[in-house]
Amino acid sequence: MGESQKGLLSVIQKLKGSTETELRIVLLGLDNAGKTTLLKSLASEDVNTITPTQGFNIKSVASHGMKLNVWDIGGQRKIRPFWKKYLDNTDLLIYVIDSADKKRFEETGLELSELTEEENLKGVPVLVFANKQDLATASPASEIAEGLNLHTYRDREWQIQACSAVSGEGVQDGMNWICNNIVNQKKK
């Protein structure tokens, strides 16, 4: 079983017995960051045949009374203005960054900053996946966090997680953070 499969399974297993837990997760990031690969990995689907997302993908996993709804929305420049239409009732924003594409760090940082200022995302926790850590040119997650000024996000929980959506490395750690921080808060 791949790391990402175990990650999703651990979230589901920790929620056993919950009859009302449902999370709406929006998965965003620039085009080619690895959003769809991450989503397919979480859904235990083949990650070897990924094509650019022209609109959006939705995956739902239901188990033990819990439902995890993940909306993967395309990141091409022409689609980004429509992101805000998908933010209603969001419990968690997962933002994916291509850690090896240094030329686009400023652009992705601006997009994330604008997103966190959206009214529908006020106080919504953010999990940033610093993806493509399997590439030699990838920047470390700590450097990306500093560049994104994540330390200035005082109105919400946030986490940056180094990962490789292709290999699954680090994905489980991100899923555990969701379970330990977001799901437990929602139950309160």
The confidence band for 1, taking pLDDT boundaries of 50, 70 and 90, is very low
pLDDT at 14: 58
To the question of whether residue 155 is assigned a binding role by annotation, the answer is: no
Whether the per-residue pLDDT at 66 is higher than 50: the answer is yes
Tell me the pLDDT band of 170, cut-offs 50, 70 and 90: very high
What residues are labeled active site?
A: 76
Q: Is 31 flagged in the annotation as binding?
A: yes
12: pLDDT confidence band, cut at 50, 70 and 90?
A: low
Which of the two residues, 46 and 182, has the higher pLDDT score? 46
**Does the annotation flag 132 for ligand binding?**
yes
Residue 7's pLDDT band, with cuts at 50, 70 and 90, is: low
Domains along the chain? 3-187 (3.40.50.300)
Q: What is the DSSP string of the chain?
A: --HHHHHHHHHHHHTTT-SS-EEEEEEE-STTSSHHHHHHHHTT---SS----SSEEEEEEEETTEEEEEEEE--STTTGGGGGGG-TT-SEEEEEEETT-GGGHHHHHHHHHHHHTSGGGTT--EEEEEE-TTSTTPPPHHHHHHHTTGGG--SS-EEEEE--TTT-TTHHHHHHHIIIIIIHHHH-
pLDDT value for 182: 67
